[in-house]
């Protein structure tokens, strides 16, 4: 019985966003990374080809964090003390992009120095996050943005209460922005509208709908992403942006990943479980439409990469 | 090429010569005429309209003007250029304001067509002439009165209170057996006895007023209409903030407060005080005494009615949200505590559910929604944001707590729509200087609901606030500044205001207004969704609420309070609840109709799932997250 | 197509007689539209209306129930994406065992006994899939001595199946798998033993042919094995089958799907995809708690009813590394409420303890209105989360909207200082800077 495969023809598609600039493009990266461009729900190649596959970013900090899980410390070892070394190792571990997370302890000079050192240690495109405090973010990100003019870095994280300064400096220096909203379709759209109302081209905005880790609200993030993607395909211009999510950050603060002792026996082997936690969270998000997943453990990076390969091979 | 322009202002002609393509407003300035340009000459406000009486101008935009206006030669001075010799008449401001197509003036109150006293009225006044007693006829006074009622008014059964019985002997004699009886006829069962309300020792002129009152107890505002039941006319309209407001702004806080020991009693007294003071004011205005009022019909949301009657309201707030009573029986004013004639009936109209009360059934009656052929949407833009959708076949309703922002409460410089309230604001998009109109024309005291809508819309359109309501402090104007709650915009400087303090729109006000408008918008979109009716198929939107005498529909659409539909589809009904109570007060058939409405309405509980919340967050933006729902605003923003 | 409330209403008597237990016919119609009541509750529906209404109600994916000492259901799904309504029947997780395994009893016992708790719910596996690489009948016997969970019998040998199934009287097992070559005897067995039958083909055309043929033999309970050489192909097929069943009402593919991540390159990843993307049953290679637990949690998350308000877990959250001197802020577990408070405080850099109370996912005002956020509940949260042990300065900040609760809370928590914070989260940082210190 010949079955006719139902295909959705969507009126909309996702904007292609390119991160990082090569020397030809006015930067110093060895290559730039493009995400987006889909015209179907994730990996339904029979409906529309997928011009860009999802990529993996590895998160490193500007200073060695003292609250990361011992499993992560074990994986990255000595390099954690030196962002440039750490970035290099992340590059080797398979990162497509490096996320440099600045901290409250950084001065503007520190921030600029760290970002520049990472830029010279690796040819990968960069995402730079402020420490997550309105004033401090602005204080650090503006000089970083100016010092890296033309590199097409993604600056983050814009939120609805604090987006103007970051967007303004990103616009002035040829960078991109990451727009984060707390797991709500409408809030995502609203922040995208506010940012593009400032004149930022949509090709330079990544939306971060926020996710919870597995067991900690992943279902909300998951559905919000599916809904955003559906809205985009249906033609809603304000949702036609690639999505970035941070399963690494989310999972490594859960006790399922962070802790090895004093947990229920039913949780099984710590290391395997912890990596499963990060990997499975990331996979669920990749299935729901993530374009960039930010991870922390090299083993998860390997597994998620493998899965993406399988998903994009037709 | 040069052209001659003759302006006529105040009957005086002034002539200037200008080159082709000169803007009329510039020409007027040259002529020394001051045509106000509240929107900064952007063609948004229509306040600069003038009339071309001879010759022609080229109109770049006629946004504010109806085709009829243009036909009569009207043109916007800021949008029209000179192409030849013309004569221009500059009309006085008030005349222009009345022409603007977006203003919806509150429907006038007129006696319902066909109202006939006494046949429609349950309270009637009857003049009786009794045969005086004698040694031959020693019938007792009460029987004598009953006989007179039987013979002269065809009343076979009559009830009387003890209090009244105690006085009749005296009244009959003082009146020398010529008396006037005020009687109440039973509403439902005509076999029931008629009730004697009062007996007056004289003959009252048949056409002199017989007083009744329609009362609306809103969570925020209480309104009283004093009505002459004979002519059917409303003779006084008064309103005041509900005295309970100091104990909480919304029904939930009131219910909580009532739960405390003595709280219920206090709230009851507070609202009674408000009502009684209003009655006194109204009576004074028509030179009557509150005791002369012989009938009261009351509408109000379920909580307000419970609190008025001293009935515990706590179950209204707790799931599954059950009232003690939706339709209270007829009561006596003396028992309820309303200071009118103690024997007067107090008729509390029937409600539907905890959050859809008699104010809404009365509102539906007064709007005619329940008999309409096409689907109509009725919005009560008030604290509880009740919404009704339907027609003569079906009616659905919901309530969403919008808060009292549009009634001027909970907003720093908010106030009711009375003298001193800023009721309209225009902001110049270049200078951010506002132009406003104050009710009564004096110094501003605050901003009322329609003023807030207008202000919010102007702040948004001119970029003072972004779509999320953040005040944009990057704009340079001394009116934009950092206030106690973040950014704020100064509408009137202390030097202009009555109190000497600045009148501002603060970030917190914006949030409150956004929440209020989002709740209302979400309420009706979810309601329409639940029954599967697209909003486009709604033929009319009726707006109720305690605004002043008008609301600017365009502004309300611009902030996303009302759906983006052609302006003519909106009607502004003002306080529909008190109006419905008024109709029910006059006509027992209308009173029956309200009972029918209450039975027919299907109440939708918005908290049953996520859809309201979804709709709410998407509406929590200016005008809405989904701009495609507001094409007219999108094009206004582009301009 | 499902009918909207108003369309159903037009098919009802419109007399508002209330006999169905709803105040009006329209209220009843909307409940019908939401599939929350049965049409039979109204005694007055005309036959013509009944017919029309029934057509819009048939489930597009057949419900398959595997039964033994416990039950596992798959199918009856109505949407492509969980937010559209909900996913209903949680994917059944089966552990594959080998008939030849000398440690069979021991392994099954361990897996059978597995129980893990996630936010108050106990999870376990759903059953076993037995690979017939040895004596299947003996293996079934062995398993039934240690586990009462439903079974999947993996063999094409009909004699072997017959004898094995005969041991499972009163159960509904799942037979794996029928293909074009063997479906006839297998269908007979399925019929005989009221078992469900997996049909296997590498194309949707093939699957549809098989289900039609088997249906013709009187077997209705089927499950589809989609094949597929990698995750991408499986995803495409699973999506197509679901869409054909739900959107095109294609009965031939209106069955749940079974997936075998045990054969995939990366089992965990493939299993996660299967759970998210429509598998009714998933077979895992072995019993490994470190993978099972995350999969069980993922399944729970994906199958949670999305219509429920978005909640965060009640508990005490640390913001900006608080110390014993830091203030204790209280809020509800409605996610947006939590986020706005947490973000404001986090953004301010000021350390605090944030106590999230169980207010059934309502915002502060709504919860307070509904009696889910009162002094008693707050006090209970403070005690349950043992907040006192974390702080030296016993100071609680209440949301400004519930200032009225401060008196009662003082009574409930006599040794705590109760402070009333601002109404809006935006004002929290300023409040913390000025008023607390
Ligand atoms: S029982 Fe039937 S007729 Fe009566 S109210 Fe319910 S739906 Fe209407
Ligand atoms: S329309 Fe001309 S000034 Fe506003």
Report which protein residue has its CA nearest ligand 1's atom 2: C42
Distances (CA, A) of B493 to B324, B434, B489: 49, 11, 10
- Residue C437, pLDDT above cutoff 80: no
Question: Is residue C348 one of the residues assigned to a domain?
Answer: yes
Higher pLDDT, A235 or B252: A235
- Reported as half-sphere exposure (CB side, CA atoms, 13 A), residue C55 has a value of 8
User: In CATH, what number is assigned to the domain containing residue C420?
Assistant: 3.40.50.11600
Q: At how many degrees (to 10) do helices A270-287 and C289-302 cross?
A: 30
What's the pLDDT score for residue A271? 96
Question: Is residue C308 one of the residues assigned to a domain?
Answer: no
Question: Is residue C272 one of the residues assigned to a domain?
Answer: yes
Together in a domain, C156 and C276: yes
What's the pLDDT score for residue B355? 86
Q: Among A134, A226, A310, whose Cβ lies nearest the Cβ of C230? A: A310
Please say whether the dihedral angle defined by the alpha carbons of residues C148, C154, C158 and C160, taken in this order, is positive or negative: negative
Domains defined for chain A, CATH in brackets: 16-312 (3.20.20.20)
Ligand found nearest the CA of C46: 1
User: Would you call A164 an interface residue with chain B, using a CB distance cutoff of 8 Å?
Assistant: yes
> What's the rounded mean pLDDT across residues C15-38?
85
Strands (E), C194-327: 196-200, 222-225, 257-259, 279-284, 315-319
What's the pLDDT score for residue B103? 63
Spatial CB neighbours of A66, under 8 Å, sequence gap ≥ 6: none
Q: Is B449 left (phi over 0), alpha (psi -120 to 50) or beta?
A: alpha
Q: What is the pLDDT of residues B531-587, one digit of tens each?
A: 888 999 999 999 987 776 778 888 999 999 999 999 889 988 888 999 999 999 999
Question: Is residue C25 one of the residues assigned to a domain?
Answer: yes
**How many angstroms is it from C24 CA to the middle of ligand 1?**
7
Cβ within 8 Å, pair C339-A46 = no
pLDDT band at B95 (very low <50, low <70, confident <90, very high): low
Contact A289, A241 (CB under 8 A): no
Please say whether the dihedral angle defined by the alpha carbons of residues B512, B513, B514 and B517, taken in this order, is positive or negative: positive
What's the pLDDT score for residue B263? 93
Q: Among C5, C368, C426, whose Cβ lies nearest the Cβ of B486? A: C426
User: Would you call A197 an interface residue with chain B, using a CB distance cutoff of 8 Å?
Assistant: yes
Neighbours of C157 (CB within 10 A): 15
Q: Tell me which of C248, C269, C302 is where a domain ends.
A: C302
Q: What is the pTM of this model?
A: 0.86
Q: What is the pLDDT of residues C281-317, one digit of tens each?
A: 999 999 999 999 999 999 999 999 887 766 788 899 9
The candidate with the shortest Cα–Cα distance to A23, out of A149, A151, A209, is: A151
- Residue C4, pLDDT above cutoff 80: no
Ligand 2 lined by B44 (C-beta under 6 Å)? yes
**How many angstroms is it from B34 CA to the middle of ligand 2?**
13
Together in a domain, C210 and C73: yes
Neighbours of C124 (CB within 10 A): 16
Question: pLDDT averaged over chain B?
Answer: 89
Report the residue of B384, B519, B600, B602 to disrupt the C interface, i.e. the one with the largest count of C CBs within 10 Å.
B602
Q: Which tokens go with C69?
A: 């000492």
Cβ contacts of C209 on chain A, cutoff 8 Å: 1
Cβ within 8 Å, pair B610-C369 = no
Higher pLDDT, A154 or C28: A154
Ligand found nearest the CA of B48: 2
Beta bridge partners of B424: B437
Strands (E), C107-237: 116-118, 121-123, 127-131, 151-154, 174-178, 196-200, 222-225
Contact A158, A178 (CB under 8 A): yes
Query: What's the start-to-end Cα distance of chain B, in Å?
Result: 30
Whether the ω angle into residue C177 lies within 30 degrees of 0, i.e. cis, is: yes
SS3 (DSSP) at C48? helix
Give the Cα separation of C335 and C427 in Å (integer): 19
Contact C151, C68 (CB under 8 A): yes
Together in a domain, C295 and C394: no
Ligand 2 lined by B96 (C-beta under 6 Å)? no
pLDDT band at B302 (very low <50, low <70, confident <90, very high): very high
Give the Cα separation of B219 and B249 in Å (integer): 7
**How many angstroms is it from C178 CA to the middle of ligand 2?**
78
User: What are the backbone dihedrals phi and psi of residue C116, each rounded to the nearest 5 degrees, phi first?
Assistant: -135, 145
Contact B428, B491 (CB under 8 A): no
The candidate with the shortest Cα–Cα distance to B518, out of B638, B405, B369, B353, is: B405
What's the pLDDT score for residue C110? 96
Query: How many inter-chain contacts (B to C, CB under 8 Å) are there?
Result: 60
User: Would you call B625 an interface residue with chain A, using a CB distance cutoff of 8 Å?
Assistant: yes
In chain A, % of residues over pLDDT 90: 87
Together in a domain, C103 and C239: yes
Structural domain of residue C369, as residue ranges?
A: 315-434
What's the pLDDT score for residue A235? 94
Ligand 1 closest atom vs CA C24: 5
Domains defined for chain B, CATH in brackets: 2-89 (3.10.20.30), 363-400+523-638 (3.30.420)
Cβ contacts of C336 on chain B, cutoff 8 Å: 617
Give the Cα separation of B625 and B300 in Å (integer): 34
Ligand 1, pocket-test mutation among C16, C38, C45, most atoms within 8 A of CB: C16
What's the pLDDT score for residue B638? 78
Together in a domain, C119 and C266: yes
> What's the rounded mean pLDDT across residues B150-162?
91
Q: What is the pLDDT of residues B471-487, one digit of tens each?
A: 887 777 899 998 877 78
Higher pLDDT, A80 or B530: A80
User: In CATH, what number is assigned to the domain containing residue C25?
Assistant: 1.10.15.40
SS3 (DSSP) at C34? coil
What's the pLDDT score for residue C266? 96
Report which protein residue has its CA nearest ligand 2's atom 1: B43
**How many angstroms is it from B276 CA to the middle of ligand 1?**
44
Distances (CA, A) of B306 to B38, B172, B312, B344, B583: 47, 40, 7, 20, 22
Chain mean position to CA B180: 37
Q: Which tokens go with C266?
A: 């990366």
Give the Cα separation of B636 and C268 in Å (integer): 53
- Residue C173, pLDDT above cutoff 70: yes
Together in a domain, C109 and C154: yes
Give the Cα separation of C27 and C12 in Å (integer): 11
What's the pLDDT score for residue C336? 73
The candidate with the shortest Cα–Cα distance to C4, out of B619, A9, B530, is: B530
- Residue B101, pLDDT above cutoff 60: no
Please say whether the dihedral angle defined by the alpha carbons of residues C247, C250, C255 and C258, taken in this order, is positive or negative: negative
> What's the rounded mean pLDDT across residues B312-320?
87
pLDDT band at C189 (very low <50, low <70, confident <90, very high): very high
Cβ within 8 Å, pair B253-C27 = no
Question: Can you list the alpha helix ranges (DSSP code H) found in B239-357?
Answer: 251-259, 263-285, 302-309, 314-317, 333-336
pLDDT band at B100 (very low <50, low <70, confident <90, very high): low
> What's the rounded mean pLDDT across residues A54-58?
98
Together in a domain, C80 and C145: yes
Give the Cα separation of B551 and B557 in Å (integer): 11
Please say whether the dihedral angle defined by the alpha carbons of residues B564, B565, B566 and B567, taken in this order, is positive or negative: negative
What's the pLDDT score for residue C58? 67
Question: pLDDT averaged over chain C?
Answer: 91
Q: What angle do CA A41, A45, A51 make, to 5 degrees?
A: 85
Q: Which of A118-132, C56-70, C82-96, C252-266 has the weakest average pLDDT?
A: C56-70
Q: Which tokens go with C212?
A: 């039609």
Neighbours of C128 (CB within 10 A): 26
Give the Cα separation of A19 and A170 in Å (integer): 13
Q: What is the pLDDT of residues B498-519, one digit of tens each?
A: 999 999 998 889 988 999 999 9
Together in a domain, C83 and C31: no
Ligand 2 lined by B455 (C-beta under 6 Å)? no
- Reported as half-sphere exposure (CB side, CA atoms, 13 A), residue A267 has a value of 21
Ligand 2 lined by B75 (C-beta under 6 Å)? no
Give the Cα separation of C177 and C156 in Å (integer): 6
Q: What is the pLDDT of residues B213-250, one digit of tens each?
A: 999 999 989 999 999 999 999 999 999 999 999 898 88
Chain mean position to CA C256: 15
Cβ contacts of A164 on chain B, cutoff 8 Å: 474
Neighbours of B61 (CB within 10 A): 15
**How many angstroms is it from C9 CA to the middle of ligand 1?**
10
Q: Tell me which of C57, C72, C89 is where a domain ends.
A: C57
**How many angstroms is it from A287 CA to the middle of ligand 2?**
53
Question: Is residue C43 one of the residues assigned to a domain?
Answer: yes
Q: Among C27, C307, C371, whose Cβ lies nearest the Cβ of B318? A: C371
Ligand 2 lined by B37 (C-beta under 6 Å)? yes
Give the Cα separation of B448 and B457 in Å (integer): 14
> What's the rounded mean pLDDT across residues C79-106?
95
**Per this entry, what is the length of chain C?**
437
pLDDT winner (highest mean) among A255-264, B436-445, C86-95:
C86-95
**How many angstroms is it from B602 CA to the middle of ligand 1?**
13
Q: Among A187, A190, A236, whose Cβ lies nearest the Cβ of B467? A: A190
Question: Is residue C310 one of the residues assigned to a domain?
Answer: no
Q: Tell me which of C302, C334, C350 is where a domain ends.
A: C302
What one-character DSSP code corresponds to residue A243? Answer: B
Which chain C residue has its CA at the smallest distance from A218's CA? C301
Together in a domain, C221 and C266: yes
Give the Cα separation of C122 and C116 in Å (integer): 6
pLDDT band at C1 (very low <50, low <70, confident <90, very high): very low
What number is the ipTM of this complex?
0.96
Question: Is residue C271 one of the residues assigned to a domain?
Answer: yes
Q: Which tokens go with C115?
A: 């129980």
Contact C164, C142 (CB under 8 A): no
Q: Residues of A numbered 208-237 whose beta carbons fall under 8 angstroms of chain B's beta carbons: which are they?
A: 236
What's the pLDDT score for residue C357? 93
Cβ within 8 Å, pair B617-A194 = no
Cβ contacts of B460 on chain A, cutoff 8 Å: none
Cβ within 8 Å, pair B532-C368 = no
Describe chain B by its helix, strand, coil percentages, rounded to 5. Answer: 35, 25, 40
Neighbours of chain C (3+ CB pairs under 8 A): A, B
Residue with tokens 């001027």: B408
Determine the distance in angstroms separating the CA of B317 from the nearest CA of chain C, rounded to an integer. Answer: 6
Give the Cα separation of B43 and B60 in Å (integer): 9
Determine the distance in angstroms separating the CA of A304 from the nearest CA of chain B, rounded to an integer. Answer: 32
User: In CATH, what number is assigned to the domain containing residue C94?
Assistant: 3.20.20.20
What's the pLDDT score for residue B387? 93
Question: Is residue C307 one of the residues assigned to a domain?
Answer: no
Please say whether the dihedral angle defined by the alpha carbons of residues B527, C56, C83 and C313, taken in this order, is positive or negative: positive
Number of compact structural domains in chain C: 3
Cβ contacts of B399 on chain C, cutoff 8 Å: none
Please say whether the dihedral angle defined by the alpha carbons of residues B464, B466, B468 and B471, taken in this order, is positive or negative: negative
Give the Cα separation of A264 and C6 in Å (integer): 52
Q: Which of A142-146, B79-83, B324-328, C213-217 has the weakest average pLDDT?
A: B79-83
Question: Can you list the alpha helix ranges (DSSP code H) found in chain A?
Answer: 70-76, 83-92, 108-121, 134-147, 164-172, 185-197, 218-233, 247-251, 255-258, 270-287, 298-312
The candidate with the shortest Cα–Cα distance to C256, out of C285, C277, C273, is: C277
**How many angstroms is it from B600 CA to the middle of ligand 1?**
12
Ligand 2 lined by B41 (C-beta under 6 Å)? yes
Residue with tokens 């949008």: B79
Together in a domain, C221 and C284: yes
Determine the distance in angstroms separating the CA of A175 from the nearest CA of chain C, rounded to an integer. Answer: 23
- Residue B189, pLDDT above cutoff 70: no
Give the Cα separation of B57 and B5 in Å (integer): 11
Q: What is the pLDDT of residues B327-361, one digit of tens each?
A: 999 999 999 999 999 999 999 999 998 888 999 99
Cβ within 8 Å, pair B617-A184 = yes
Q: Residues of B numbered 464-493 whose beta carbons fall under 8 angstroms of chain A's beta carbons: which are they?
A: 466-468, 470, 474
Together in a domain, C223 and C338: no
Give the Cα separation of A188 and A228 in Å (integer): 8
Distances (CA, A) of B104 to B100, B101, B555, B630: 9, 8, 11, 20
Together in a domain, C93 and C214: yes
Q: Which tokens go with B212?
A: 């009744």
Describe chain C by its helix, strand, coil percentages, rounded to 5. Answer: 45, 20, 40
Q: Among C6, C27, C371, whose Cβ lies nearest the Cβ of B532? A: C6
Ligand 2 closest atom vs CA B37: 3
Contact A199, A232 (CB under 8 A): no
Ligand found nearest the CA of C19: 1
Neighbours of chain A (3+ CB pairs under 8 A): B, C
């Amino acid at each position: 019985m010949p079955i006719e495969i139902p295909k959705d023809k969507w009126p909309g598609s996702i904007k292609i966003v390119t991160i990082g600039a090569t020397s030809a493009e006015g930067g110093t990266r060895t290559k730039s990374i493009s995400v987006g461009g889909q015209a179907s729900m994730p990996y339904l190649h029979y409906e529309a080809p997928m011009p860009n596959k999802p990529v993996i970013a590895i998160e490193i900090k500007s200073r060695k964090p003292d609250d990361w899980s011992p499993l992560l410390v074990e994986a990255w070892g000595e390099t954690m003390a030196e962002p440039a070394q750490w970035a290099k190792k992340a590059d080797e571990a398979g990162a497509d992009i490096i996320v440099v997370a600045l901290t409250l302890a950084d001065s503007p000079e520190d921030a600029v120095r760290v970002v520049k050192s990472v830029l010279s240690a690796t040819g990968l495109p960069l995402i730079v996050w402020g420490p997550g405090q309105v004033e401090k973010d602005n204080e650090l990100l503006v000089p970083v943005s100016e010092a890296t003019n033309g590199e097409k870095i993604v600056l983050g994280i814009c939120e609805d209460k604090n987006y103007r300064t970051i967007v303004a400096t990103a616009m002035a220096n040829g960078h991109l922005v990451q727009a984060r909203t707390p797991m709500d379709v409408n809030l995502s759209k609203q922040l995208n509208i506010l940012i593009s109302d400032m004149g930022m081209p949509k090709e330079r905005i990544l939306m971060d709908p926020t996710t919870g880790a597995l067991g900690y609200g992943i279902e909300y993030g998951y559905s919000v992403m599916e809904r955003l993607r559906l809205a985009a395909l249906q033609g809603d211009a304000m949702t036609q942006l690639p999505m970035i999510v941070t399963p690494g950050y989310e999972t490594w603060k859960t006790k399922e990943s962070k802790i090895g002792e004093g947990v229920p026996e039913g949780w099984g082997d710590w290391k395997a479980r912890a990596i499963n936690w990060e990997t499975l969270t990331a996979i669920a998000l990749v299935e729901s439409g993530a374009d960039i997943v930010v991870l922390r453990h090299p083993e998860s990076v390997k597994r998620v990469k493998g899965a993406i390969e399988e998903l994009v091979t037709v | 090429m040069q052209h001659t322009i003759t302006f006529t202002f105040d009957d005086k002609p002034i002539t200037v010569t200008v080159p082709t393509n000169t803007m009329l407003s510039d020409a007027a300035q040259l002529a020394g005429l001051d045509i106000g340009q509240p929107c900064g000459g952007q063609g948004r406000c229509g306040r600069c309209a003038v009339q071309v009486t001879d010759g022609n101008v080229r109109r770049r935009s006629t946004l504010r003007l109806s085709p009829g206006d243009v036909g009569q030669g009207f043109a916007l001075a800021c949008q029209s250029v000179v192409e030849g010799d013309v004569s221009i008449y500059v009309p006085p401001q008030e005349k222009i304001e009345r022409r603007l197509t977006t203003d919806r003036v509150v429907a006038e109150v007129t006696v319902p067509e066909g109202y006939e006293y006494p046949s429609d009225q349950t309270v009637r006044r009857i003049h009786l002439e009794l045969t005086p007693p004698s040694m031959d006829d020693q019938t007792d006074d009460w029987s004598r009165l009953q006989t007179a009622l039987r013979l002269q008014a065809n009343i076979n059964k009559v009830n009387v209170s003890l209090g009244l019985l105690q006085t009749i002997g005296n009244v009959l004699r003082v009146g020398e057996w010529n008396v006037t009886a005020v009687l109440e006829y039973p509403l439902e069962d005509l076999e029931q006895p008629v009730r004697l309300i009062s007996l007056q020792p004289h003959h009252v002129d048949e056409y002199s007023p017989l007083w009744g009152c329609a009362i609306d107890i809103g969570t925020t505002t209480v309104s009283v209409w004093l009505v002459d039941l004979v002519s059917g006319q409303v003779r006084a309209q008064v309103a005041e903030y509900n005295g309970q407001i100091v104990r909480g702004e919304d029904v939930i806080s009131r219910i909580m407060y009532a739960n405390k020991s003595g709280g219920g009693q206090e709230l009851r007294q507070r609202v009674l005080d408000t009502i009684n003071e209003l009655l006194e004011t109204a009576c004074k205005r028509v030179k009557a005494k509150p005791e002369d009022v012989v009938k009261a019909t009351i509408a109000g949301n379920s909580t307000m009615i419970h609190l008025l009657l001293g009935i515990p309201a706590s179950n209204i707030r707790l799931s599954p949200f059950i009232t003690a009573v939706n339709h209270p029986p007829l009561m006596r004013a003396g028992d309820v505590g309303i200071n009118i004639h103690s024997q007067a009936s107090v008729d509390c109209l029937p409600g539907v559910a905890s959050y859809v009360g008699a104010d809404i059934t009365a509102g539906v009656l007064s709007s005619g929604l329940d008999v309409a052929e096409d689907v109509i949407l009725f919005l009560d833009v008030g604290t509880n944001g009740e919404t009704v959708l339907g027609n003569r076949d079906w009616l659905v309703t919901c309530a969403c707590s919008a808060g009292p922002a549009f009634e001027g409460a909970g907003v720093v410089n908010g106030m009711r729509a009375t003298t001193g309230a800023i009721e309209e604001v225009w902001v110049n998009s270049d200078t951010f200087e506002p132009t406003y109109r104050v009710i009564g024309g004096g110094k501003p005291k605050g901003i009322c609901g329609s003023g807030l809508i207008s202000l919010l819309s102007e702040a948004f359109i001119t970029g003072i606030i972004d779509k999320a309501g953040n005040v944009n402090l990057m704009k340079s104007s001394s009116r934009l500044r950092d206030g106690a709650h973040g950014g704020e915009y100064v509408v009137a400087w202390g030097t202009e205001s009555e109190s000497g303090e600045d009148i501002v729109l603060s970030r917190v006000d914006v949030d409150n207004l956004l929440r209020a408008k989002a709740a209302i918008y979400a309420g009706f979109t979810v309601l329409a969704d639940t029954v599967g009716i697209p909003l486009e198929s709604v033929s009319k939107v009726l707006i109720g609420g305690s605004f002043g005498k008008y609301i600017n529909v365009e502004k309300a659409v611009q902030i996303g309070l009302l759906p983006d539909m052609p302006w003519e589809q909106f009607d502004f009904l003002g306080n529909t609840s008190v109006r419905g109570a008024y109709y029910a007060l006059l006509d027992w058939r209308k009173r029956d109709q309200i009972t029918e409405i209450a039975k027919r309405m299907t109440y939708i509980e918005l908290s049953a799932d996520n859809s309201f919340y979804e709709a709410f967050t998407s509406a929590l933006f200016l005008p809405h997250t989904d701009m495609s729902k507001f094409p007219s605003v999108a094009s206004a923003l582009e301009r | 197509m499902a009918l909207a409330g108003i369309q159903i209403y037009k098919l009802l008597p419109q007399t508002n007689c209330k006999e169905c237990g709803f105040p009006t016919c329209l209220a009843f119609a909307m409940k019908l539209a939401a599939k929350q009541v049965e049409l039979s509750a109204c005694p007055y529906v005309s036959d013509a209306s009944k017919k029309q209404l029934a057509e819009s109600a048939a489930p597009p994916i057949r419900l398959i129930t595997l039964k033994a000492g416990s039950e596992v259901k798959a199918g009856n799904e109505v949407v492509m994406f969980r937010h559209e309504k909900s996913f209903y029947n949680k994917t059944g997780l089966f552990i594959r065992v080998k008939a030849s395994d000398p440690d069979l009893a021991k392994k099954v016992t361990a897996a059978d006994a597995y129980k893990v708790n996630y936010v108050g719910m106990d999870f376990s596996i759903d059953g076993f899939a037995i690979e017939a690489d040895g004596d299947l009948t003996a293996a079934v016997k062995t398993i039934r001595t240690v586990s009462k969970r439903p079974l999947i019998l993996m063999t094409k040998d009909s004699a072997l199946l017959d004898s094995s199934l005969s041991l499972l009287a009163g159960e509904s097992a799942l037979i794996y798998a029928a293909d074009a070559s063997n479906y006839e005897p297998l269908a007979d067995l399925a019929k005989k033993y009221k078992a469900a039958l997996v049909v296997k083909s590498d194309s949707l055309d093939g699957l549809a042919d098989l289900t039609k043929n088997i249906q013709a033999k009187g077997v209705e309970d089927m499950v589809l094995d989609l094949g597929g050489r990698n995750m991408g192909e499986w995803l495409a097929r699973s999506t197509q089958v679901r869409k054909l069943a739900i959107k095109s009402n294609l009965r031939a593919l209106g069955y749940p799907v079974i997936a075998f991540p045990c054969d995939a390159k990366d089992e965990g990843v493939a299993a996660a995809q299967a759970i998210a993307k429509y598998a009714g049953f998933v077979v895992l290679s072995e019993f490994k708690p470190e993978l099972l637990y995350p999969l069980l949690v993922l399944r729970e998350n994906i199958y949670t009813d999305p219509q429920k308000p978005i909640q965060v877990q009640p508990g005490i959250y640390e913001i900006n590394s608080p110390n014993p001197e830091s203030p204790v802020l209280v809020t509800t577990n409605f996610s947006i409420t939590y986020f706005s408070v947490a973000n404001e405080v986090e953004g301010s850099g000021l350390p605090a303890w944030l106590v999230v109370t169980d207010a059934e996912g309502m915002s502060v005002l709504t919860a307070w209105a509904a009696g889910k956020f009162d002094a008693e509940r707050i006090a209970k949260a403070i005690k349950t989360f043992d907040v006192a042990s974390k702080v030296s300065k016993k100071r609680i900040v209440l949301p400004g909207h519930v200032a009225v609760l401060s008196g009662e809370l003082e009574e409930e928590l006599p040794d705590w200082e109760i402070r009333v914070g601002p109404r809006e989260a935006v004002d929290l940082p300023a409040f913390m800077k000025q008023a607390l210190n």
